[in-house]
Structure 1
Amino acid sequence: MIKRNNKHIDNPFYDPTLNGRHRKSKRFKAFTATSLIFSIAFLIFFLYDMISKGTPAFEQAYIKVDVTYNEESIENSRTAISSEYLGVVSRAWLREIPRHVEQNPSLMGQTISVWALADDQVDQYLKGHYYKLKRKDRALIDDLKAYGNVELKFNKIFFTNGDSKIPEFAGLNSAVIGSILTLIITMLFAFPIGVMTAIYLEEFADDNKFTQTIEVNINNLAAIPSILFGLLGLAIFINLFGLPRSSPLVGGLTLALMTLPIIIVSSRAALRAVPDSIRQAGYGLGLTKIEVTRDHVLPLAFPGILTGSIIGLAQAMGETAPLIIIGMIAFIPDAPSSVFHAATVMPAQLFTWSGMPERMYVEKTAAGIMVLLTILISLNSFAIYLRKKYEVKW
């Protein structure tokens, strides 16, 4: 007879701890589900906060004013418009008036109604954000708005201009070009060296203490803080080799050092995933080890290698700490024309904007994060697409 008091059980197949294990399993499932819910809720909150703050940056306030082009206004651009508009029109736009005449000399001697870029405080006032606008200027904006002479238009300046100390004139153009040049250098150095290193360690190197030491160091390098790579880049590329500071060349080489371990580890995993039967079949046909690796193993592993490499480059694109050490956080208003000129990158640009006191930089920072996340998600999606497209079913 079986007693159900959990103290004395005559049935040899009865496990007195079974109910306790079921309860632990239910609690574990509840904890994991709760963690997942919190993670999703945090992600939704983060995206909502970022989108709600960044979306207004894609619009910019413009005011319709009469501009007089003459010798006096060329020498002093503040005289080109009525004095009542000086407090609501962007100073950066006023400085561009002489350049307008240089590009179109026929403007000289004319008075034309144009849409002028508004001051950042006017922009914040129209968007319902915190602003510091004088009462008379606010009354002027309200009157202009009533007559349709104030509008929020698409902010192309955000994509065509570089950094600026004047918030309404600041854009991401120079940072985007700097990021592209930096990633090109990173890819040109990290991808071939990383893949060839992985092929050698996985297919050709003997299993001895030397290769084991290399493998341990590669795995350790993949886990160290990225700022240490910035110190390494500063010591080697700038102090030792004398390469230009803040240049995409130094930034790309520094990020290549950081990305190399990731590419090597992911490439070795892709090579290891190729069945040994592929290699044995090649050897059975009389092929050499190089021919088997080049013509059979590498093509099958290439989708995984490419996926890991793109993900590593995407991670490098979002790095800020190593680039701060080598000076790529400097104020760079103009886009670099070569990899030897001073440049900045998008993460460093956003870091700079986040510390600016003007409120307009808050929405520009959030909008820049949206652009950066879009690029990173696109790169990861592209990596998944390539993996699916070239994946071979064994």
Structure 2
Amino acid sequence: MSQVISAPAATARAASTRRDIGIKRRYAAERRFRTYGLAAITFGLLFLFLLISSVVSKGYTAFEQTMITIPVEFTESVIDKNNERATNPQKLMTANYPVVARNALAKVLGVDPSDRAAMKAVGGMLSDSVRTQLRDVVVNNPSVIGTTQPVSMLAHGDIDSAYKGQIDLSVPEKNRKVSDKQVGWMNQLAESGALAGHFNTGIFVNGASSRPEAAGVGVAFIGSLYMMLIVLVLSLPIGVAASIYLEEFAPKNRFTDLIEVNINNLAAVPSIVYGLLGLAVFINFAGLPRSAALVGGLVLTLMTLPTIIIATRAALKAVPPSIRAAALGLGASKMQTVFHHVLPLAMPGILTGTIIGLAHALGETAPLLLIGMVAFVADFPASPLAPSTALPVQIYMWANEAERAFVERTSGAIIILLIFLVLMNLGAILLRRRFERRW
């Protein structure tokens, strides 16, 4: 006898079935969402890894520089033939030091000085910066004239690239910048220990140079440091003061609403627009010098202010209203409540936003190009008003160079810039974790 199911029971079973189907669909949708999220994170990390590995693989060799260490005879007949250095010290500044270096290397290699073609090839083994290096040795200690001293000199950029394996030496000689004769000399010097790779301190302390082996980011770093100090000194107090007024004291009306909307819009304005503004106001109108760290700092201050104001207002809003109510209830004034209670509790968020804004400003290039900081600057700026450049601009200029050796310099400078950015962001995270309070 078949069992008869009542209508209410059938309805309940159908409802239960629909509920189970709905739950399964919801769980399936949640699993798909998690899968999409994991896929997005995986792709992001993959591309980040490819980017960093590409930069590191091309730039890590920039922190090693090929040097040639040989005994150099500071020949008096070349440096000061007529013994004029006592009455004319300028003579030591204008001596033909490349000839001194070339003759020393030719002697080590056993090259006949009368063979002009061979001597020219020998001179091509050394960087043109030996002129400055040997000149400084003689000027600082004139007593070395007439003696032989061991000196470590920079190898030419092409020799450096060949020694690092960046030049394919299997191609015909006419298709590469390093001749077979120079390759043989390079191997000879390497076997004797006269030619070897050393840690490249020059990339950190040297300025711009047309010779890749002598180029460094030292001048650009000082320029960036000047600009970051200007941005910090101007943007932090102005941004915090504006945020406190808008959040704690300003009346809520259409005018303040308009200001808030404009601040949010300014945070999204392309950075090149700030460069145009700096060119029009600070250079053309105010008459400040082009390519100066002061102008760059002012432009980056304008660009950073919206970010700091937004971050500071968010930090002030995060302070519980009970803090304000308790302070006011105990008799504190509005000013005392803000500066003695609210602002200290919001300081972690303010510092975090400031550091993130500075990190953003440190990596900017477009506004600095428009105010002339793309100039070739080889000397360290003595003040913010002196001509200077910045790290991202230096990277931009090296990226446009045609020589192969500048490729590793570009990637090496990117690594240095990334390290500074990582350290600044790490500092922001540590400050937040150190001072953050949970409510």
**Structure 1 residue 36 and structure 2 residue 35: aligned?**
no
Matched length: 391
**Structure 1 residue 78 and structure 2 residue 98: aligned?**
yes
What per-residue deviation string (whole Å, max 9, x for no partner) do you get for residues 234-282 of structure 1? 1111111111111111000000000000000000000000111111111
Which secondary structure state, in structure 2, belongs to the residue aligned with residue 229 of structure 1? helix
Alignment-derived partner of residue 404 in structure 2: 359
Which secondary structure state, in structure 2, belongs to the residue aligned with residue 67 of structure 1? strand
1:111 to partner: Cα distance: 2.3
Which secondary structure state, in structure 2, belongs to the residue aligned with residue 338 of structure 1? coil
Contact 1:2/1:9, CA 8 A, preserved across alignment: no
CA distance in 1, matches of 2:221, 2:356: 19
| Correspondent of 1:99 among 107, 132, 136 | 136
**Structure 1 residue 201 and structure 2 residue 201: aligned?**
no
CA gap of 1:285–1:98, structure 2 versus 1, over 3 A, is same
Contact 1:91/1:119, CA 8 A, preserved across alignment: yes
| Correspondent of 2:158 among 121, 124, 127 | 121
Q: Which runs of 5+ in 2 are unaligned?
A: 80-94, 107-118, 168-175
Alignment-derived partner of residue 111 in structure 2: none
**Structure 1 residue 11 and structure 2 residue 31: aligned?**
no
Which secondary structure state, in structure 2, belongs to the residue aligned with residue 10 of structure 1? helix
Q: Which runs of 5+ in 1 are unaligned?
A: none
Equivalent position amino acid for 1:101 in 2: V
Alignment-derived partner of residue 271 in structure 2: 226
| Correspondent of 2:332 among 287, 290, 294 | 287
1:57 to partner: Cα distance: 0.8
TM-score in terms of structure 1 length? 0.95
Equivalent position amino acid for 1:35 in 2: A
Equivalent position amino acid for 1:45 in 2: L
In the TM superposition, 1:90-169 aligns within 5 A as 90-130=127-167, 132-169=177-214
CA distance in 2, matches of 1:360, 1:177: 24
CA distance in 2, matches of 1:72, 1:96: 19
Higher mean Cα deviation, 23-32 or 331-340?
23-32
1:361 to partner: Cα distance: 1.1
| Correspondent of 1:249 among 283, 294, 308 | 294
Identity of aligned residues (%): 44
| Correspondent of 2:30 among 4, 9, 25 | 25
Equivalent position amino acid for 1:96 in 2: Q
Equivalent position amino acid for 1:205 in 2: A
Contact 1:61/1:150, CA 8 A, preserved across alignment: yes
1:96 to partner: Cα distance: 3.1
Equivalent position amino acid for 1:222 in 2: A
1:116 to partner: Cα distance: 1.5
CA distance in 2, matches of 1:79, 1:38: 56
If you compute each CA radius of gyration, which structure gives the higher value, 1 or 2? 2
Contact 2:98/2:130, CA 8 A, preserved across alignment: no
Contact 2:96/2:131, CA 8 A, preserved across alignment: no
1:390 to partner: Cα distance: 2.0
